[in-house]
Structure 1
Amino acid sequence: MSVYVLDFDHLDKSSLPLVGGKGANLGEMMKAGFPVPSGFCITTEAYRSFLKQSDVMDGFLGRLDRVEADQLGEITALGQDIREHLVTLPVPDDIRTAIIQGWHRSGTDQAYAVRSSATAEDLPTASFAGQQDTYLNVCGEDALLDAVRKCWASLFTDRAISYRARNRFDHRTVQLSVVVQRMVFPEVSGIMFTADPITGHRGTVSIDASYGLGEALVSGLVSADLYQVRSGKLLTKTVSRKKLAIYALPEGGTVKRELPEIQQEMQALDDVRILELAALGEKIKRHYGSEQDIEWCFAQGSFFIVQSRPITSLYPLPDLNIPPGESPHLLVSFGHQQMMTDAMKPMGLSVLRTLIPFGKTGIQAMNEHTAAVGGRVYVDITKLLTVKQARVILPKVLANVDEMIGLGVTELVKRESFVQHLPPAAGVKKGVLRFIRPVLRRVARKLLYAPVTDAHLEVNAYIEASVQKGEIRLSGVTGPERVVRIQEHIGMLLLTIFPQLIPYPLAGIISSRLVNALSIKWLGDTEVVHVLNRGLPGNITSEMGLMIGDLADAARSYPQVIELLRRGDPLQFREQLRQVEGGDAFGLLWDRFIALYGMRCPGEIDITRPRWREDPSTLLPSIVCHMRSMEPGEHRAKFAEGTLEASAAASELLKRLRAQPFGWLKAKLMSRLVCVYRGLMGLREHPKYLMMQHFGLVREGLLDEGRSLVKDGVLNRADEVFYLSLDELLKLTEGERLPGLAALLEQRKEELERFRGMKPPRLMTSEGEIITGRRKLQDVPEGAWVGTPVSAGVIEGIARVVLRPEEANLNRGEIMIAPFTDPGWTPLFHSAVGLVMEVGGLMTHGAVVAREYGLPAVVGIDGATTLIRDGDRIRLDGTRGYVLVLERSE
């Protein structure tokens, strides 16, 4: 058999370099005994020989290397030039002979489907589905050779070029094979997913079916029937109106035909055949060991499989060991709660899983009720839901963090099948109460009678002492002892910080709710609480934002400092300041800022991210934005104005209450609540601030251990330590060598890139099902996107999409559209007049800061950074919770 042509029965999954993903899968399934129509593959060797005839392809490929995925005009022009060139090249004689011989072996009286099969196609991490062309019902030698040549050329369709560029595949390394497969002329055909492609549920087989060839379904010409099967039983069945079908013509080619009226609304597959097909899909899945996207057809009483590829769009499954008979476990995204949904390196995941203290086997251990999924941390809350009261309270608590999380949990606990099979969890209720009771006692004391005037001094003193203890504990030791101390330090962190600091802001939060509720009940006033939130004293994050404004004002008088802020090397910024006019004066304020906040950065819960004191590249653009969008001193004046407004609003509120029946009593109660609110709400960010101080200490220790491992020849760079877990680092410092360490690190770097392209769900079950809540639609304009209103007010302006703080280009009067924000984003808040976020809730960072700054804000709009274009003119209603595009940008 020629090196240019291989029959299916000579192929298996190892043949991918020669025949691409599609060809290798067909050979693999045929060898495994699945009903695959026979045929042959024209190998990548033939494709390479075909291209060697061209003396201009190297030039074309060089131009392709410089094209980005979003440069659609360049892709269209270049792709057309390449395709037009390739279809003019002759098929070399030796390749032509091999193809004709393969055709004779397979049967010259048969019709064939001719499909492309790329070496980067149907892979576990990238499907490349539909990127190249397919030709159906090809009859005769000349038609076959013409279809093969067109398939080769289709490696350079616009969509294929863009897909490779977006997924960073080298155009030179992707080779094309051509699959020539006997045509099946089906009565019914379609696509089967062995997992639900919408919800991700791994136990649900989802089948699309329509009449005739599957081309009508794939090209979107018909609405297919949808059947879903779970555990061998037909779960759901949706029969669609199918007006058209595509059929093969006797002379070759295909034709669209309108179906008879009576057939249009008939079920394409009967129930028995549906279950038979689902069982076949399960067998294919078991063979490959992964979920499959399968093309099938039904003809003359039998099913045929014409393709199977991995489903690459599913979010990974959590690795949990769940006993049979239990309900699927429910996992909540930790990143959505912390306003940082980006994928993390293994050390970042390891630290967070060690940090969460409840239900651990030991202080050093990672939490058994957490899982690293797709580069993110998920928390298993199933045992909490065994407590009946928790099924009512927990969704409400979570809704304050992210409304959609709260709604999703509410939706799941309504399922009788979930509640009936919850796992036994003896002692959970007692354990929760044992931890919560002392915290609630402290909250009650602060809410009712404890003085709040010294609260900031108390908290700041605690933070200073805590950091000093941490420095002492982690200094003076190296190697295994330091790693063990780091594990213990992280494991104890929340157990010490939470009971001591949380009562302060929690009392402030409760008082704000009571102020709001009583203002509405007694006065019908829904706005006063928003004004009282302005200019809160002592908020560490707000003070950081004000210092950013001070830095901007300090730079205004020095053109060379401004130039450094705009175009200097961030890693050399402090050193370069010493060489320019005004650098010393600016440097004094800079050093003070770094001393206070240098351990922070965007996405700061990921300990592997460089801090501002190491790399201020995410900080400098914020200072530049501030200079562009604010007048000198404006930030301080606005904050002072907010403080005065809040004071005046409090006085007016009490005055109005005194004028009511029992007014003296109402005013006395409200006065206490306002005092607690204004005195303690500003401490909301202090626990996170302290945690980041400790993260800074831990990060320094980890990098120092990384440098030691570099000296010992174990690692190439110190920051490779972040691709390890804490336990793995401990083993390395103890002298144990991890087999295949270099390959493991490379694999984890590749995984991280793949995970970064995935959108993490807020909630998922252990079966992979993505749980989504149903938001009640409010009275909003048609075409508006509805989210959670978190800061009142209405604003119209230009939308500025900011995916990363270092790329921010906010101008005066613009509304910031962001995936999320955490304290590392705070410097940008002074430059915006409104805020829209994809994730968040009433008490998350962005919402709290927006209320304090008086910015209208809406959160929880999925896909906001793509739905809203940079430069769109929008209306943002932070009172009712919607965003409406008024005018699209060009």
Structure 2
Amino acid sequence: MKTALDFSEIHAGMLAEVGGKAANLGELTRAGLPVPPGWVLTTEAYRQVALDLETSGEDLAARARRHLLQAPVPDDVREEILKAYAALGDDVPVAVRSSATAEDLPFASFAGQQDTFLNVVGGAAVVDAVRRCWASLWTDRAVAYRESNGIDHAAVRLAVVVQAMVDARVAGVMFTANPVTGRRHEAVIDASPGLGEAVVSGAVNPDRFLVFDGRILERHAGDKRLVIRSLPGGGTERVETAYDGLCLTDDEVLRLAELGNRVEKHYGSPQDTEWALDDDGRLWLTQARPITTLYPLPERPRPGLRVYFSVNVAQGVMGPLTPMGQAAFRVISAGGAGLAGHAPADPLDGAAFMTSSGERMWIDLTTAVRSRNGRAILPRALTLGEARAVPVMERLFEDPRLSLADSSRRPFLRGLARFIRNVRLPSRVLTALTSPRRALALTVRLGEELDRRLRVPASATPAQRLDHAERVLVRTFPLIISVMPLAITGYGLFALASKLSGVPTNEMGDVLRSVPHNPTTEMDLELWRLATRVEPEPFKELTVAELVRRYQEERLPPVAQREITAFLATYGHRGVAEIDLGVPRWSEEPAHILGVLANYLRMDGDPDLAPAAQFARGEREARAAIAHVAARARLKGRWRAAVVRFGLGRTRRYAGLRELPKFYLVKTLAAIRRSLLVVGEHLVARGVLDAAGDVFFLDLRETRAALSSSADLRELVARRRETYERERRRRHVPRVLLSDGTEPESLAQPAADGALTGTPASAGTVTGVARVVLDPIGAHLEPGEILVCPSTDPGWTPLFLTAGGLVMEMGGAMSHGSVVAREYGIPAVVGVADATHRITSGQEITVDGAAGTVTLPS
């Protein structure tokens, strides 16, 4: 088998044989782009040398490197290396680069994870560089990178690229999209004299150029104090130098950008390239790979620049949604749009403002951003739930590309009037003001009506179950949103009390301590009470996996078995990332709940710190806070004090209802999930799917079509699972995204070093040990530790019972975590950029929930 292939013999489909780097160089060569000549030693050669390599166990990286550096190179492989090298010319200087099969991939670039050897001269030196490239597949950094991206070590092979060196006058890197802001087609060029290694390795401050649409937007001269040059006979040297001015002319910059456009057009996606400019002024491409860090652009693009807001970020779910979960959101959005008279022709298409990207849901806010009404409403609405988005939106209001559209207010007012009428806003506000008993009874009736709608006869056919799912999803939002006028009344009276008393709302947080009628708080308290009733021994002695097994086999002690079953009968529809109906519920996978119980039962705490005692203390502090605000109001007039007491009394009755629509929505999704699992079982029986849960990797249309077709959908499901798992590893999701790829938040001025500021969410100051938690499942917080996390949904809140404070990257004053933190009386700051990266577990930090600051150790 031939193990050395010229670039002209390689194409993009040969990843397994030549690795990512060589596949790209072959593809570029065949496309007629200016690539220096070269060849690749295929993965077959590596396989022969690494045949006996054990890819598991301790000290893996060191053992693998030692094996590859000591194993002999097979004679036939050595001969092919020498023959291919000689074909380039007599002792031609070459670059020898690693090209792994897990490298330069659409989801992981692996840039810099394996080694490169420059200006290698002579056959023996090339053979040695090949051996060192093989060993570099097993550097500690490469092993860690593969593990973080979920790539099996045993499945990775290494090819080696050997490419003629360019005697570069200037070299560097070029991104065909801005990797910081995300803006597509904005080329970012870093350049420095000499070999490009100076730029790639970060050894020099290069010149930087930004180019968009044939215009140079920015020129920035770096100091360029180091030049890496080739040495005669092989190797390189680093030379300290002083270089005044820019190392590229405007014409060269524009030529580079045009070359980048050609590369991007060929691949159909933004590229990270390395390039060189020789003494004759000729441009060369020495490498190209996808830019893997860019967030994907939303689907269903509409003309002009669009503004998208992340539903996932707003809901505290940073991970992706399954295809069926996305389909459900579209149908729900259709029902919501119908309240304002804008229902789509087909509910399965979703509302016009709803789209998806990166397996997450987005709302198109362009119309609101470009209207006077929207600019008045958006900042106020976002302040409540996603405060960090407010300055982002305000900057967008100033973007000339998003200037106010010349349109009538009448459509907005007509839609608003329809919405107010359909949710019965006036009558429900009146009920909330005049009769709390009737108002709260209404929420109970809505819950009973929802339960009635969710019932599906056991005899229902799969097609009837789909009909029911679509019907319920369309009608769910109008039903559950009708609770919100009550909560809005409570918060409206809260704002009125602030105005009448002169006490700022951020100083009235104690009024919202321990509010009743919040289903999430009630769930958390019930879980704690459950821990006081069950037999503790199994939970202190057994692993969570064993607890789950015994519970499912009904072998836990009697009280524990009965009480946990009762808890899950009420709250088992909940879970982490519960807005996705494709995600299992606690009733299906009770490990999280049993793990929380085990943690509670292993604690030896002060009874006064028990959640029930804290909740009662919170009620007392709330009454005292109301008295304080009323006293301040009395100074301005007796009637003001009476209104404040009345208003804040209503606030406490209704504030907790803010969580009720979400509770009802999740109950709806859980019921539909159960029904769709039956449909999935039917498709498994017909040989269309492998497992019932695979149905969640289809959408509603595809599922309906599968009922009348024998087409095998297992390959489609496997591809979508792979995409879903890849998106689960995505570390960054923007809260606002433009249709040109720009993340507006990235354009903001960074905060001063060490300054962590966010939105005040729950007053109070606490100093304690930070605990960074990225996933609540299996997480454990010692009493008093400060929870630092990306965001929260109700699946996180059992951790709040032992937390001494809260720091969240996402959210606003009225987001879920903020509300629960206030109710539990723990200081909280939300909307703290990069908190989970800038704070480490074990650090002692101070959280000031009134000032919105987090102080780190100096």
Selected match of 1:748 from 710, 714, 720: 720
Alignment of 1:514-529 (within 5 A): 514-519=496-501, 521=502, 529=508
Which residue of the partner structure matches residue 347 of structure 1? Answer: 324
Report how far residue 426 of structure 1 moved: 8.6
Post-superposition CA distance 1:655-690 (Å, at most 9, x none): 4543x25x2121122122112212211211111112
Q: Which residue of 1 aligns with 2:627?
A: 651
> Secondary structure at the residue paired with 1:589?
helix
1:554 paired with 2:538, answer: no
Structure-2 separation of matches of 1:682 and 1:391: 28
- Asked if 1:385 is matched to 2:385, the reply is no
Which whole-Å deviations, capped at 9, do the CAs of 1:603-647 have from their partners, x for residues lacking one? Answer: 111111222222211112222333316455832222122212222
Match of 2:812 in 1: 841
2:434 paired with 1:450: yes
Paired residues of 1:545 and 1:826 also in contact (CA < 8 A): yes
Corresponding residue of 1:568: 546
Q: CA RMSD in A?
A: 2.6
What SS does the corresponding residue of 1:681 show, helix, strand or coil? Answer: helix
What amino acid is the match of 1:236? E
Shift of the alpha carbon at 1:174? 1.8
Mapped to 2, the partners of 1:680 and 1:236 lie a distance apart of 54
Q: Which letter does structure 1 place at the counterpart of 2:477?
A: L
Evaluate the alpha carbon distance shift between residue 201 and residue 852 of structure 1 in structure 2; reply closer, same or farther with a 3 A threshold: same
Which digits, 9 at most, give the CA deviation of each residue in 1:230-274, with x for residues without a partner? 1222222222221111111123211111223xx24x112111111
1:629–1:811 CA contact under 8 A, matched in 2 = no
Aligned residue number for residue 879 of structure 1: 850
The one of 282, 297, 300 aligned to 1:302: 282
Confirm whether residue 216 of structure 1 aligns to residue 198 of structure 2: yes
> Does the aligned pair in 2 maintain the 1:406–1:773 contact within 8 Å?
no
Q: 1:638 to 1:708 in 2, by over 3 A?
A: same
Q: Which moved more, 1:361-370 or 1:626-635?
A: 626-635
Q: Which amino acid in structure 1 is aligned with residue 600 of structure 2?
A: H
CA gap 1:693/1:145 in 2 versus in 1, 3 angstroms: closer
Asked if the contact 2:93–2:165 (Cα under 8 Å) also holds between the matched residues in 1, the reply is yes
Q: 1:315 to 1:423 in 2, by over 3 A?
A: farther
Which one is further off, 161-170 or 372-381? 161-170
Out of 727, 738, 747, the residue aligned to residue 765 of structure 1 is: 738
1:792 shift after superposition: 0.8
Q: Structure 2: how far apart are the matches of 1:159 and 1:123?
A: 17
Deviation of residue 312 (structure 1)? 1.6
Question: Structure 1 residues 39 and 564 mapped into 2: Cα distance closer, same or farther (>3 Å)?
Answer: closer
Aligned residue number for residue 56 of structure 2: 65
Query: How does 1:456-535 map onto structure 2 within 5 Å?
Result: 456-471=440-455, 476-498=459-481, 500-519=482-501, 521=502, 529-535=508-514
Change (3 A) 1:417 1:561: closer
After superposition, the Cα gap between the structure-2 partners of 1:569 and 1:227, relative to the gap in structure 1 and judged at 3 Å, is same
Where do 1:136-175 residues align within 5 Å? 136-175=118-157
- Change in CA separation of 1:653 and 1:119 when aligned onto 2, cut-off 3 Å: closer
Gaps of 5+ in 2: none
In the alignment, the residues of structure 1 paired with residue 721 and residue 406 of structure 2 have an alpha-carbon distance, to the nearest angstrom, of 37
Partner Cα distance (2:77, 2:547) in 1 = 56
Give the Cα separation in 2 of the matches to 1:187 and 1:827. Answer: 61
SS at match of 1:576: coil
Q: Cα offset for 1:305?
A: 0.6
Q: Which amino acid aligns with 1:410?
A: E
**Separation (CA, whole Å) in 1 of partners of 2:606 and 2:563:** 19
Task: Tell me the distance in 1 between the aligned counterparts of 2:229 and 2:424.
Answer: 71
SS in 1 for 2:856: strand
Equivalent residue number for residue 852 of structure 1: 823
Segments of 4+ moved more than 6 angstroms: 420-426, 773-778
| Contact preservation (8 Å) 1:411, 1:773 | no
Q: Residue deviations 1:488-510, cap 9 Å, x none?
A: 21012112221x21101111122
Task: Note the C-alpha offset of 1:111.
Answer: 1.3
Q: Would the aligned equivalents of 2:184 and 2:740 in 1 still touch at CA under 8 Å? A: yes
2:292 aligned with 1:276:
no
Question: 1:731 offset after TM fit, Å?
Answer: 1.2
User: Are 1:189 and 2:171 matched, yes or no?
Assistant: yes
| Residue range with higher mean Cα deviation, 629-638 or 7-16 | 629-638
Q: Does 633-642 or 418-427 show the bigger shift?
A: 418-427
- Structure 1-normalised TM-score? 0.90
Q: Which residue of 2 aligns with 1:732?
A: 706
**Distance (Å, rounded) in 1 between the aligned partners of 2:628 and 2:155:** 72
Alignment of 1:406-425 (within 5 A): 406-419=390-403
Alignment partner, residue 615 of structure 2: 639
Q: Provide structure 1 residue ranges, at least 5 long, that are not aligned to the other structure.
A: 68-73
Which shifted more, 287-296 or 528-537?
528-537
Residue 502 of structure 1 contacts residue 687 of structure 1 at CA under 8 Å; is this kept in 2?
yes
Find out whether 1:590 has 2:573 as its counterpart: no
The verdict on how the C-alpha distance between 1:395 and 1:653 changes in structure 2, with shifts beyond 3 A counting, is closer
How far is the alpha carbon of 1:587 from its aligned partner?
4.0
Shift of residue 788 of structure 1?
A: 1.5
Aligned partners of 1:511 and 1:421: how far apart in 2? Answer: 34
Secondary structure of 2:47's counterpart equals: helix
Q: Letter of the aligned partner of 1:874 in structure 2?
A: I
What is the letter of the counterpart of residue 43 of structure 1?
A: T
Asked whether the 8 Å contact 1:136–1:254 carries over to 2, the reply is yes
After superposition, the Cα gap between the structure-2 partners of 1:36 and 1:869, relative to the gap in structure 1 and judged at 3 Å, is same
Q: Secondary structure at the match of 1:488?
A: helix
Per-residue deviation, 1:18: 2.6
Is contact 2:756-2:833 (8 Å) kept? no
Give the corresponding residue for 1:676.
650
Alignment partner of 1:206 is 2:188? yes
TM-aligned CA distance change 1:224 to 1:443, over 3 Å? farther
Q: TM-score, normalised by structure 2?
A: 0.93
- 1:251 maps to 233
In structure 2, relative to structure 1, the CA distance for the partners of 1:518 and 1:630 (3 Å cut) is farther
Q: Deviations over 1:543-582 (max 9, x none)?
A: 1111111101112x542465468553425516435x53xx
Q: 1:376 to 1:649 in 2, by over 3 A?
A: same
The answer to whether the 8 Å contact 1:571/1:616 transfers is no
Q: Residue 777 of structure 2 is aligned with which of 793, 796, 806?
A: 806
Which residue matches 2:840? Answer: 869
Contact 1:447 1:673 (C-alpha < 8 Å) held by counterparts: no
Instruction: Specify the code of the residue in structure 2 equivalent to 1:747.
Output: R
Q: CA deviation at 1:785?
A: 1.6
Q: 1:275 to 1:437 in 2, by over 3 A?
A: farther
Amino acid at match of 1:321: P
Q: 1:434 to 1:203 in 2, by over 3 A?
A: farther
| Counterpart for residue 293 of structure 2 | 313
Q: Name the CA shift for 1:319/1:792 in 2 (closer, same or farther; >3 Å).
A: same
Matched, 1:693 2:667: yes
Q: Is 352-361 or 128-137 further displaced after alignment?
A: 352-361
Instruction: Please tell me whether the aligned partners of residues 191 and 295 of structure 1 are also in contact (alpha carbons under 8 angstroms).
Output: yes
In 2 relative to 1, CA 48–696 (structure 1 residues): closer, same or farther, beyond 3 Å?
closer
Q: CA deviation at 1:462?
A: 2.1
Q: Which residues of 2 match residues 119-134 of structure 1 at below 5 A?
A: 119-134=101-116
The aligned counterpart of 1:71 is none
Confirm whether residue 225 of structure 1 aligns to residue 214 of structure 2: no
- Whole-Å Cα distance in 2 between the matches of residues 184 and 307 of structure 1? 12
Paired residues, number: 847
The reply to whether residue 545 of structure 1 matches residue 545 of structure 2 is no
Contact 1:629 1:812 in 2 (8 A): no
1:527 shift after superposition = 6.8
